[in-house]
Amino acid sequence: MDSTKHTQKQWDKHDLYELCVQNPEACIPLINAIHGRSPSTLAEDFAGTAILSRQWAEQSDDHRAIATDLDQEALNKHPDHPRVTKVCADVNQSADPADVIFVGNFSIGYHHTRAELIAYLKQAHARLAQTNGTFLCDTYGGENAFIPGGVHRPTPMGDGRLCRYTWEQRDADPLTGMVRNYIHFRIEHAGTITDEHDEAFEYHWRLWSVPELRDAMLEAGFKSTNVYNKLPDAIDDEGNAYINPIQDPEEELDDSFIVLVSSSVS
Ligand SMILES: C[S@@+](CC[C@H](N)C(=O)[O-])C[C@H]1O[C@@H](n2cnc3c(N)ncnc32)[C@H](O)[C@@H]1O
């Protein structure tokens, strides 16, 4: 009998997503570096389990976060934190001011039309206006962006098991920009599949290109935009990241890429 069975925790799809997809430890230094003026209030829109907000708040007594998502179950995943406000609502209704608004893992694509995108960005601009704040979202692009297919990535679960993460681009229409993507998880132990979460997450998004996002940000009232790789140029001993906007796409962008697009109020 497998002696590890009794000690292994049960992982739900949110645990597996955090393990395989998210990396708040790497994200927080990037947010600080791109904002550049020690932001204290983070608004995590489309927050999911709000793990980024939680780690943001844990980092400093001066930090607070507002995590907004439609999914109460996801927001309930972690215990409450005194400096994290969880809001179960549509991000389009949010009026919460912040120093930084962060939209992660391609969630900006939930805005399917340009009118919806601009309306959301105008509202985001108003939320950031008092603090001269920064809006940040990510998107993907490049030669495979509109090609159906998948990538797999094995991630050790720390208890002898392995989670095989699959990102599947099932439908992608280059004429409308609409894509349908899935995340699947498969758990393996000693070469045997012990659990499967097929279609754990499904996304129906508009895949906005980088210039479409930058144009929309400017139209919504932001003064400037920049594009960054999701990896910092350097990290010092204290964990501070240093990052410069991409200047030379040919040199700095892979054929298939993920970038952060930022916009500033002033
Ligand atoms: C791709 S997940 C992002 C999770 C996490 N923020 C991350 O960076 O990985 C997208 C989340 O957006 C939420 N969502 C979708 N539309 C929304 C809306 N209009 N308002 C608030 N949350 C929304 C979904 O419930 C889901 O939890």
pLDDT category at 190 given cuts 50, 70, 90 is very high
* Inside any domain, residue 9: no
Q: How many domains does the chain have?
A: 2
Domain that holds residue 162: 146-205
Which three-class secondary structure state does DSSP give residue 86?
Answer: strand
Question: Looking at the structure, do residues 159 and 29 belong to the same domain, yes or no?
Answer: no
Contacts for 114 with CB less than 8 Å, ≥ 6 apart: 212, 216
Question: Looking at the structure, do residues 175 and 151 belong to the same domain, yes or no?
Answer: yes
Per-residue pLDDT tens digits for 150-160: 999 999 999 99
Residue 3 has pLDDT above 80, yes or no: no
Q: How many CA atoms lie within 13 A of 4 on its CB side?
A: 11
Question: Looking at the structure, do residues 251 and 134 belong to the same domain, yes or no?
Answer: yes
Q: Is the CB of 69 under 6 A from ligand 1?
A: yes
Least Cα distance to 212 among 245, 248, 246, 261 occurs for: 261
Mean pLDDT of 233-261: 93
Question: Looking at the structure, do residues 164 and 132 belong to the same domain, yes or no?
Answer: no
Question: Looking at the structure, do residues 135 and 151 belong to the same domain, yes or no?
Answer: no
Mutate which of 42, 70, 120, 260 for ligand 1? The one with the most ligand atoms within 8 Å of its CB, which is 70
Question: Looking at the structure, do residues 180 and 105 belong to the same domain, yes or no?
Answer: no
Residue recorded with tokens 């939680």: 54
Q: Is the CB of 157 under 6 A from ligand 1?
A: no
pTM of the predicted model as reported, rounded to 2 decimal places: 0.95
The C-alpha atoms of residue 55 and residue 52 are separated, in whole angstroms, by 5
- If you take atom 26 of ligand 1, which residue's CA is the nearest one? 48
Residue 233 has pLDDT above 80, yes or no: yes
pLDDT category at 80 given cuts 50, 70, 90 is very high
Mutate which of 13, 31, 46 for ligand 1? The one with the most ligand atoms within 8 Å of its CB, which is 46
Question: Looking at the structure, do residues 188 and 241 belong to the same domain, yes or no?
Answer: no
Question: Looking at the structure, do residues 232 and 200 belong to the same domain, yes or no?
Answer: no
* Inside any domain, residue 221: yes
Per-residue pLDDT tens digits for 4-31: 444 667 899 999 999 999 999 999 999 9
Question: Looking at the structure, do residues 185 and 233 belong to the same domain, yes or no?
Answer: no
pLDDT value, residue 22: 96
Domain's final residue, options 168, 189, 205: 205
Least Cα distance to 41 among 31, 30, 51, 49 occurs for: 31
